[in-house]
Structure formats: structure tokens, C-alpha cells
Homo-oligomer: A and B are copies of this chain.
């Protein structure tokens, strides 16, 4: 379904999502028209889900990253859906994954200070109904930031 040129396009757009179509066409060895057509097809098929500016968390006053593993009291559909809705509604939760194993979800949290984190746990996390346990691990720093996906050739 994806050919070699598509994969090159995806790689380049992961590295620089704002590159011009002309530059992109150059890099993948195509002229601008077919290159743009391929990009549009990839966008419409959802292979390219979107484009995002990557922001320096510290520069915007959000130096603290925490990973929180939570478990639920029960796994009835109603409770799970309510919890997931709550997760999606809390802005400090910037990513969330459903886990296989002892814990149910892994949440990635971004806040400005430890005080804010305490506040976040008290007012946004513990208030979610149906949570059984909350385990926090703080990150000191980022060793490797979000990298291009290892798309196989």
C-alpha cells in the first residue's frame, strides 16, 4: 500500500512538518505535483493524522513531567467510558494509554511545579470517580524526544 516514496515522504514530514512541497519533492526525488498528490492521499487516508508544532515545555513554564499509573475499581463498560472521558477532558493529561498488566492506564502529565502537581492530583485526578489507585513517577528530564517512527523500508 505504501511504496518507497511514500515512506520517504512520511520520514521527511516527521522531521519537518512545515517543509514546503517543493523542498519535499526535491528530497524524495519527485516534481512538486505528484509529490503534493501523494501527500494529500496520505492525509485523506489518515496515514498522516495531522501536523503539530513541538513546544519546549520549559519555555512555556511547564518543566515538570510525571507518569501516573492508575487502576480502576472495576472494569464495567460504563465506568471505563466515564474514566476515559474524564482523562480526555483534563488538559494536564497530555497523553494516555490503556495498559496490559497490573495497572490500567499510563498517563503522562505536564505541570508547572510540584505544587501544581499536588493540586492536579487533588482536584483533577482523585476527583475522577472509579479510580482505585494512583502511582506517580516523576521524570527528571527527556533523554530522547519524540522521534520519527521506525517505518521499515
Binding site for B on A (CB under 8 A): 2, 7, 10, 13-18, 45-57, 59-62, 65, 67, 84, 87-88, 91-101, 103, 105-106, 110-112, 137-152
In the complex, which residues of chain B have a beta carbon less than 8 angstroms from the beta carbon of A60? Answer: 2, 7, 10, 47, 149, 151
Taking the nearest CB of chain B, how far is it from the CB of A143, in angstroms? 4
In the complex, the count of this chain's copies comes to 2
Given contacts A18-B18, A147-B91, contact A55 B152 (CB under 8 A): no
User: CA separation between A17 and B48, bound complex, in Å?
Assistant: 12
Q: Evaluate whether A143 and B97 lie within 8 angstroms (CB atoms) in the complex, with A10-B60, A60-B151 already known.
A: yes
Which chain B residues lie closer than 8 Å to A144 at the CB level? 87-88, 93-96
**When the two chains form their complex, are residues A139 and B55 in contact, meaning their CB atoms are under 8 A apart?**
no
Interface core residue of A10, A18, A46, A138 (most chain B CB under 10 Å): A18
Task: Say whether, besides A14-B55, A52-B52, A65 and B97 are in contact (CB < 8 Å).
Answer: yes
Q: A100-B139, A137-B106, A150-B92 are in contact. Are A48 and B52 (CB under 8 A)?
A: no
* Cross-chain contact A51 with B48 (CB below 8 angstroms): no
A56 touches B51 (CB 8 A): no
* B-side contacts of A47, CB under 8 Å: 55-56, 59-60
A19 to B100, CA, bound (A): 37
